[in-house]
Amino acid sequence: MALGPETTIGVVGAGAMGLGIAQVAAVRGHDVVIADMTPQAIDRARSAHRTALDRDVEKGRMTRAAADATLERLSYVQGAGELNLGPFAHCGLVIEAIVENADAKRALFADLESVVAADAILATNTSSLSIARIASACKDPSRVVGIHFFNPAPVMPLVEIVPAITTAPNVTAEAFALVHGWGKTTVVASDTPGFIVNRIARPFYGESLRLLEEGIADCATIDWAMRAIGGFKMGPFELMDFIGNDINYAVTCSVFEAMYYDARYRPALTQRRLVEAGLLGRKTGRGYYDYRDGAPKPAAHEDEALGRRIVDRVLAMLINEAADALHMRVASALDIDLAMTKGVNYPKGLLAWGDEIGAAEILGRLESLQQMYREDRYRPSVMLRRVVAAKGRLVG
């Protein structure tokens, strides 16, 4: 099916991601059907859409008439403990945004396939699960593709388009063209664990947690270093608290398992304990930091030499991961750097940043860490070694 402005878009799941995706499509002129199995979720979605569009009107980003028209294009389907998929029969594209569980997604896709037209496209918004595994639940897996938005979907510009090994080329092309037409920055990633962003970003959290666990620096100091010296918008611990430690830990575990327990992606015991204690970050009032009223704000140890040591170590791991993703053909060099700047607001594309610092310097940092720790966690990417041997560049 050719996807165009007249295509009705379906969204399954009325959580934060689902309602955000539905808003993006409706603002761009599509009739949108959004369903959830709980009436409470639908009520929250309806209220959230109205609030978000009212805010856009107040800030001058949208006229009142346009906001009202957008609301008219949104249809809400309430379930009572189970999903009502009947209203999706006329959708040309249905995007799934339910719980991050492969079995739940597979069951949903099998049910959706029996409802929608034979040429309708089915998409999953999974952030790290195998598209091929989800698609295999369908009789025609060629119609299934990954369309991974970032939260909040109306604000974040990046969308990863992820074809499975079974996805038809025209389905990938249609999904890419449609989302690009919505004004999003679109990149194509291979169906590998974490795709581009959630794979390459793991050391931002993992190596920072390692520094914390070793007692090299506390959370506030590491966050200060990554912001003030590294130029990142948020430090790793404040970002994990913002995302939710349960979500961040689950993604790390998913990538670690899917990568056959590669030491590069090993989760941290510190984060596991926070999750077990229910200290999930801002949403629970405590995480790495205490957000409760009156709680003291920890002061960073703003030492330039220590800060530089922190940044150099974390950045070397990030650049190495980006180089390895390029080596393993997860995406093109352009899409890798575009994804990391647009998807997680990194100050520079990591491959270009590696060229700026020098591949030999990054290789030296990693070899020093590997010699010190004797861990495979710090092994340099083959791509990095090749670039150094050829006196070449990671980009270009």
Catalytic residue among 96, 113, 160, 174: 160
Give me the pLDDT at residue 79, please: 75
What range does the domain containing 243 cover?
Answer: 199-390
Assigned domain for 395 exists: no
Same domain, 299 and 254: yes
Assigned domain for 93 exists: yes
Give me the pLDDT at residue 217, please: 98
Give me the pLDDT at residue 80, please: 67
Q: What are the counts of helices (DSSP H) followed by strands (DSSP E) for the chain?
A: 17, 8
Provide the number of structural domains found in the chain: 2
Assigned domain for 343 exists: yes
148 is catalytic: yes
Give me the pLDDT at residue 128, please: 85
Give me the pLDDT at residue 273, please: 98
Give me the pLDDT at residue 2, please: 81
CATH number for the domain including 271? 1.10.1040.50
Backbone angles phi, psi at 166, to 5 degrees: -100, -5
Same domain, 166 and 61: yes
101 is catalytic: no
Catalytic residue among 125, 128, 130, 198: 198
Same domain, 62 and 182: yes
Catalytic residue among 49, 96, 125, 148: 148
Same domain, 210 and 329: yes
Same domain, 179 and 204: no
Task: Report pLDDT digits (tens) over 145-185.
Answer: 999 999 899 999 999 999 999 999 999 999 999 999 999 99
Catalytic residue among 49, 113, 125, 127: 127
The stretches in the chain having pLDDT less than 70 are 1, 80
Which of residues 135, 166, 188 is at a domain's end?
A: 188
Give me the pLDDT at residue 39, please: 87
Q: How far is CA 389 from CA 119, 241, 395, in A?
A: 49, 40, 15
- Sorted by sequence, the CB contacts under 8 Å of residue 139 that are 6+ apart come out as 113
CATH number for the domain including 33? 3.40.50.720
Which of residues 141, 156, 188 is at a domain's end?
A: 188
311 — alpha (psi -120 to 50), left (phi > 0) or beta? Answer: alpha
Question: In this structure, are residues 241 and 281 in contact, taking their beta carbons and an 8 Å threshold?
Answer: yes
